[in-house]
Chains A and B, each alone.
Chain A
Amino acid sequence: MKPRLVLVYCLIVLTPLALLAWVGSRMVKENQRQMQEQMERLLQGRLSDLSHTVQMYLRNREKELLRLTRLQSFRPEAIREHARQYGFVRQLFVIGPDSRLSYPSPTGPWTQEEEAFLLRTRKLFSYRVDFGGDESTPPLSNDEDLPNQPPANLQPNLSDQQILEMEQQQEASSQTQQRSVQQARLQVRQQANRPLQQLFRPPRKNGPSHGWHAWYWERGVHLLFWRRDEYGRVIGAEIPRVRLLSDLVGLFPDTGLSSAEGRIVLLDANGKRIYQWGAYEPKRGDEPAAMRSLLPPLKAWSLEYYLPADMLKPKQGEWMSVLPSVLALALALVGLAVYFYRENNRALREAAQRVSFVNQVSHELRTPLTNIRMYAELLENQVDEEDPAMGKRVSVILTETERLSRLIGNVLTFSRQQRQALKLHPVRAVPDRVIERVTENFRPAFVAKGIEPKLELNAGGEVTLDVDALEQILGNLLGNVEKYAPDGKSVTIASSIAGDVLTVTVQDHGPGIPAGKEETVFQPFVRLSEALTEGVAGTGIGLSIARALARMHGGELKLVPSEHGACFEITLRSQ
């Protein structure tokens, strides 16, 4: 197979395959990207839901705290009593309109919890906390929006007593903490008499009336809720951290949830895990599939979502869904290429066989014909003039050989014409010599039928023409004269050259061509009326071939008007 054809077939097969593979891979990647985005959105949505759950919890707490901070009495005993009714409050505090901390009293006496509160918040208050300023968190609800009863999902996992005990144990267990507590107590007492108004910023007149305040102490974020009343006082509550954690944990699913959802981790401000659920254990170095910070006031805390790596990676199945299509198309294209190649080869083989058949027939027919003619002519040279019968026999052999030769020539030419493989082979030649030679070849046949050839030749100059074509055209015309017009007893052949056009006319004196059949006679296999052609042998393609050859030669073969018989005019243009 020619290299060029191989290249073409390769291009036909490989180009669409490459294109499909590229499109397929893009589609798969796009699909993966979309799935990943979808996954991220899903995870973010999940984390967002959790964050909103926390937010809802704090909102509901806020509503309770708003109610809680509406004190009927500001006497310390009343405040203490009031605080005891609410287990989720660790300590209440009041800051007067003069920006002084009025409860717990800076000068004492304090309960143990109050003293501990002052210790915890000494740094907080020493930095001039601006309730309602930038450090505070805006309210999550309005004052009027007070729940009639606590929401059912805020039932703590631990009892108030248990939480208090935990805190006390945590505070009491650290020796270092105890020493710092003692030092802090001393510091508090030393600050007791200092005017506190300088520690607090004056309340803003147009700021929010309540909110949250987060501050860092020891292990992490702590929350204060505060409310400013119509007198400018700030009443606040400290939410116990453990209680907060316990409530939040109660909002989240149990730790032992199946790995279907991976693992969600709640982290504090230091990145330390507070709580987690989901049976999947992230490996060292695993990155979370999604992260989200909680909403204020716990924005320092965050949620992380971990998923197994195989849930994140593109499934093999995705590629497998494209691969069969690519393979199927590849097979189809290869099959198509093979089919076209085989069809092409078959067509070429058939064409070659046809050519070979024509060549073979040509060779096989012409060779014995050559021998018959050659030996007949050699015999003719040795025929005694005294023996006319022998001469006639030899003449018949030569005549029929010539006729057979013309017949074979016509068939082969017709075959080439059908295959559009006719070609001209122009050479320099004298047309009159060709005419004389052809006429001479017909002499025995003409003599036998009593036809006298008359030559009126005026094309003695050299022109460029296909000699074989002229011979075949003329041979067919004279053959028709021999077959159809022997009774005319003569045939006139005239030639002339005008410019580059050779004109040869063949005029017989036979019955002629019936009116209306002037073009019909040139069609292959068309016979005129049975009366004319009865008993006449022939293939019916002679005139068709003759005209085709004349037209190939830039000329024409036509029937021209004649008083008697038929007159054919051949025009050939010099090549």
Chain B
Amino acid sequence: MKVLIAEDDQLTREGLVEILESEGYQPVSAEDGETALSLMHTENPDFVCLDVMMPKKDGFQVCKEIRRTHPSLPILFISAKSEEIDKVLGLELGADDYIVKPFGVKEVIARIRAITRRCLNQDQSTSTAQPFTMHDLTVLPSELRARRGEETIELSLRDIKILEVLYMNPGKAVDRSELFDKVWGLSHMPNSRTLDQHISQLRKRIELDPKHPKIIQTVHGVGYRFE
């Protein structure tokens, strides 16, 4: 899932890119409004994160122009919580949601996951739309969630992809390169620590005992396996 990030502050922009990548998205970034509109045509993203105060064209103008060609594209505004907030929520601009600075990683992730769910529900063509079960865990790809009994676990897109790859290869050790290819994409080559850290974080959320995982098992020297 491709996400366009339009933010003039470099550190904020790069931070958001890192957060979205860790979530399993393909972020494309723009440092001003005109670049953002240009990337809209070339990259055709699935949703957009728009800063309000940007050079050349501000977020409101970009939003209006996007709405002309993409009336239902989810747009997430990044606001500094000033008087502009009224405009942000205005029906005229058609914003779907907003994040107020300073925001935390978790807040961003929560907002983005909410938008992703809407996108997934709208697009029924994805093969990961159907829920699947891994031991006592029911994975709901379209909701970016998993359930164990009454407990609900929030999952990222990448988490879903990892679980999907393992689920599609039950009992088989999926090597790292395959996981890189299928989860991170061929163009991205993170180091092994990135994968291990991600798996570690995922285990903390879905395993009853992360130190003795049942769903995602480590295959030393190879990769990981779902038994």
Contacts and interface: CB of A to CB of B under 8 A. Distances in A.
Interface stretch (A22-30, A302-310, A362-370, A537-545): A362-370
A367 B101 contact: yes
Among B16, B82, B84, B86, residue most surrounded by chain A Cβ atoms (within 10 Å): B82
A486 to B, nearest CB: 24
B101 A370 contact: yes
Nearest to B89: A425
A362 to B, nearest CB: 5
Nearest to A377: B105
A170 interface: no
B201 interface: yes
A131 to B, nearest CB: 110
Interface stretch (B7-15, B68-76, B139-147, B177-185): B7-15
B85 A374 contact: no
A421 interface: yes
Interface string A333-363: 0000000000000000000000100110011
A366 B53 CA distance: 12
A147 B19 CA distance: 136
Interface in B76-110: 80-86, 89, 100-106, 108
B65 interface: no
Contact of B101 (A366, A378, A381, A382): A366
A458 interface: no
B104 A363 contact: no
B105 A374 contact: yes
Contacts of A377: 104-106
Given A371-B12, A378-B15, A423-B86, A363 B53 contact: yes
Interface in A381-435: 381-382, 401, 405, 409, 412, 421, 423, 425
B43 interface: no
A462 interface: no
B105 A363 contact: no
Contacts of B89: 425
A412 B84 CA distance: 14
B102 A363 contact: no
A468 B103 contact: no
B18 interface: yes
A374 B104 contact: yes
Contact of A366 (B85, B86, B102, B197): B102
B84 A359 contact: yes
A423 B104 CA distance: 24
A430 to B, nearest CB: 13
A381 B82 contact: no
A372 B101 CA distance: 11
Given A362-B81, A423-B86, A375 B15 contact: yes
B78 to A, nearest CB: 9
Contact of A369 (B16, B83, B101): B101
Contact of A375 (B11, B80, B81, B201): B11
Contacts of B201: 381
A228 interface: no
Contacts of A381: 105, 197, 201
Contacts of B102: 366, 369-370, 372-374, 401, 405
A403 to B, nearest CB: 12
Contacts of A441: 104
Interface string B1-30: 000000001011001101100000000000
A468 B12 contact: no
Contacts of B105: 374, 377-378, 381
A492 B173 CA distance: 49
B104 A373 contact: yes
Contacts of A425: 85-86, 89
B12 A367 contact: yes
A355 B86 CA distance: 14
B12 A370 contact: yes
Contacts of B84: 359
A367 B100 CA distance: 10
A381 B89 CA distance: 32
A363 B84 CA distance: 11
B23 to A, nearest CB: 12
A318 B105 CA distance: 84
Interface string B182-222: 00000000000000010001000000000000000000000
A428 B72 CA distance: 22
Contact of A370 (B18, B83, B86, B103): B103
A359 B84 CA distance: 9
B82 A378 contact: no
Contacts of B85: 425
Contacts of B197: 381-382
Nearest to A363: B80
A398 to B, nearest CB: 8
Nearest to B11: A371
B158 to A, nearest CB: 13
Contacts of A359: 80, 82-84
Contacts of B101: 366-367, 369-370
A421 B84 CA distance: 12
A291 B43 CA distance: 104
B93 to A, nearest CB: 15
Contacts of B108: 374
B96 to A, nearest CB: 13
Contact of B9 (A362, A371, A468): A371
A514 B19 CA distance: 48
Contact of B18 (A373, A378, A468): A378
A421 B83 contact: yes
Nearest to B9: A367
A444 to B, nearest CB: 12
Interface string A456-481: 00000000000010000000000000
8 contacts: A366-B102, A370-B101, A370-B103, A373-B103, A374-B108, A375-B11, A377-B106, A468-B100
Interface pairs A-B: 5 shortest CB-CB = A377-B105, A370-B102, A366-B101, A369-B102, A371-B11
Interface of A: 355, 358-359, 362-363, 366-367, 369-375, 377-378, 381-382, 401, 405, 409, 412, 421, 423, 425, 441, 468
Given A371-B15, A381-B105, A441-B104, 6 more contacts: A359-B80, A362-B81, A363-B80, A363-B82, A370-B101, A375-B15
Interface of B: 9, 11-12, 15-16, 18-19, 53, 80-86, 89, 100-106, 108, 197, 201
